[in-house]
């Protein structure tokens, strides 16, 4: 660690590492990434790893679509020698109520305007896509064959090593403890390894972002919600596609490794709790076995918990602190930060280096909660 850097990034998840890479690519190479654990030890490493373009809000759909295009060649893009594990087996979003089915038709319109290759399918075709699917109670589904999932650890590492090759430094097992600002600008970060000067600081700390931003007087209305997931033993390929429901609040997919990863939405108060529970384990199995009875034989090998950084309108926040210019918070991804990080990183890097971008970064400002110009997202598990 040097005495100071042009840019200090707090958080070594996909967002921090992708931002470092995109900045370095644009010639800003004097970068330090501070990570309190190891890379992807927070939300990125705990996420469901899905990549879906079937969103209801235009901005989410666009961020996800343009990020998917990067995931499709991330190894080449970053010069990574490993495998980022992208698998585009599709997403089947199932509707259980008439209201939901009507919402899906609206979502398709949004997606089609952007050129996303999604479509409505009837229950017979849904069963052809996912042969073991129990369609009882379903109205229909929408399907996009270019949705899928990737390996969050390898994607993050690909960005981190790519940034490192261009000159960025990574300080793992280093915790940011406080911020310093002077004359209305950010000047540096206090860490448990000493003070680091910084011209720009990126706050990529997921659910901890509001706490850090509050140190410079910025109010970020993001809260933490515990979500749990589990993984089974690997078996021969049973299905290509992710199955997801908003009404029953679940998602389930088979990874290229053969294991099934799944989760259900919680019904609990906001908290930073990251412990898993046996009550959840039982309920998750009950919900998924009803939809895919064939999975009853599969053994669960591991369960874990992580946090969603929920914003009021379930859309990302990219915010520069008013009293500490140069301090940017990137948070509020509401459980889908992994799949939009590549495009958000580009948007931010373009902004910081004075380049044009087809997206207006101001639309993501936390100001929208005061002005009421929300970016409402109807479709989140």
Question: Residue 77 or 280: which CB sits closer to another protein?
Answer: 280
Considering the complex, what minimum distance in angstroms separates the CB of residue 10 from another protein?
19
CB atoms within 10 A of CB 223: 18
Considering the complex, what minimum distance in angstroms separates the CB of residue 41 from another protein?
7
> Which residues are near another protein by CB under 8 A?
37-41, 45, 82, 153-154, 157, 172-173, 231-233, 257, 267, 276, 278-279, 281-286, 288-290, 295-304
Question: Residue 168 or 375: which CB sits closer to another protein?
Answer: 168
Question: Residue 120 or 172: which CB sits closer to another protein?
Answer: 172
What's the burial of 365, exposed, middle or buried (CB within 10 Å: 0-12/13-18/19+)? middle
> Which DSSP string corresponds to 207-273?
GGHHHHHHTTT-----EEEEEEEEEE---S---SSEEEETTTTEEEEE-TTS-EEEEE---S-----
Are 242 and 92 spatial neighbours (Cβ–Cβ below 8 Å)?
Answer: yes
Question: Residue 289 or 359: which CB sits closer to another protein?
Answer: 289
Residues 6+ away with beta carbon under 8 Å from 85:
149, 150, 151, 154, 155, 255, 256
Considering the complex, what minimum distance in angstroms separates the CB of residue 157 from another protein?
7
Considering the complex, what minimum distance in angstroms separates the CB of residue 348 from another protein?
25
Question: Residue 13 or 337: which CB sits closer to another protein?
Answer: 13
Question: Residue 257 or 362: which CB sits closer to another protein?
Answer: 257
DSSP H or E run through 10: strand 4-10
The 8 Å CB, 24+ separation contacts for 95-98 are 95/138, 95/139, 95/140, 95/141, 95/142, 95/245, 95/247, 96/137, 96/138, 96/139, 96/245, 96/247, 96/248, 97/139, 97/247, 98/139
Considering the complex, what minimum distance in angstroms separates the CB of residue 324 from another protein?
33
Question: Residue 185 or 283: which CB sits closer to another protein?
Answer: 283
Are 172 and 11 spatial neighbours (Cβ–Cβ below 8 Å)?
Answer: no
Considering the complex, what minimum distance in angstroms separates the CB of residue 144 from another protein?
27
Question: Residue 248 or 283: which CB sits closer to another protein?
Answer: 283
The dihedral of CA 312, 317, 323, 328: what is its sign?
positive
Considering the complex, what minimum distance in angstroms separates the CB of residue 258 from another protein?
11
Considering the complex, what minimum distance in angstroms separates the CB of residue 338 from another protein?
14
What's the burial of 183, exposed, middle or buried (CB within 10 Å: 0-12/13-18/19+)? exposed
Considering the complex, what minimum distance in angstroms separates the CB of residue 287 from another protein?
8
Question: Residue 70 or 281: which CB sits closer to another protein?
Answer: 281
Q: Which residues pair with 143 in a beta bridge?
A: 92, 119
Residues 6+ away with beta carbon under 8 Å from 233:
259, 298, 299, 301
């Amino acid at each position: 660690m040097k005495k100071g850097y042009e840019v200090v990034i707090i958080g070594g998840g996909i967002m921090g590492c992708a931002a470092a890479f995109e900045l370095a690519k644009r010639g800003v190479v004097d970068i330090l990434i501070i990570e309190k654990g190891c890379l992807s030890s927070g939300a990125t490493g705990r996420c469901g790893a899905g990549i879906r373009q079937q969103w209801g809000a235009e901005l989410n759909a666009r961020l996800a679509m343009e990020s998917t295009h990067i995931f499709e060649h991330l190894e080449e893009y970053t010069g990574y020698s490993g495998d980022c594990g992208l698998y585009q087996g599709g997403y089947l979003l199932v509707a259980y109520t008439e209201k939901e089915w009507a919402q899906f038709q609206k979502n398709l319109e949004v997606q089609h305007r952007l050129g996303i290759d999604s479509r409505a399918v009837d229950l017979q075709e849904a069963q052809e896509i996912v042969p073991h699917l129990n369609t009882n109670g379903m109205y229909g589904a929408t399907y996009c064959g270019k949705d899928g999932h990737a390996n969050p650890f390898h994607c993050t590492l690909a960005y981190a090593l790519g940034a490192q090759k261009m000159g960025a430094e990574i300080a793992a097992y280093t915790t940011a403890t406080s911020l310093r600002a002077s004359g209305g600008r950010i000047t540096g970060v206090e860490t448990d390894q000493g003070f680091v000067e910084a011209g720009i600081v990126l706050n990529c700390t997921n659910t901890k972002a509001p706490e850090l931003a509050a140190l410079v007087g910025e109010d970020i209305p993001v809260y933490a919600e515990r979500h749990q997931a589990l993984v089974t033993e690997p078996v021969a390929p049973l299905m290509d596609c992710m199955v997801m429901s908003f009404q029953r609040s679940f998602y389930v997919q088979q990874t290229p490794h053969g294991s099934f990863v799944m989760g259900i939405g919680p019904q609990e108060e906001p908290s930073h709790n990251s412990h898993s529970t046996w009550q959840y384990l039982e309920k998750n199995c009950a919900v998924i076995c009803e939809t895919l009875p064939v999975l009853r034989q599969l053994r669960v090998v591991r369960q874990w918990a992580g946090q969603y950084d929920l914003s009021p309108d379930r859309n990302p926040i990219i915010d520069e602190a008013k009293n500490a210019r140069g301090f940017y918070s990137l948070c509020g991804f509401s459980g889908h930060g992994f799949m939009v990080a590549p495009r958000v990183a580009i948007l931010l890097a373009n902004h910081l280096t004075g380049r044009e971008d087809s997206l207006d970064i101001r639309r993501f400002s936390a100001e929208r909660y005061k002005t009421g110009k929300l970016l409402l997202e109807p479709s989140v598990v």
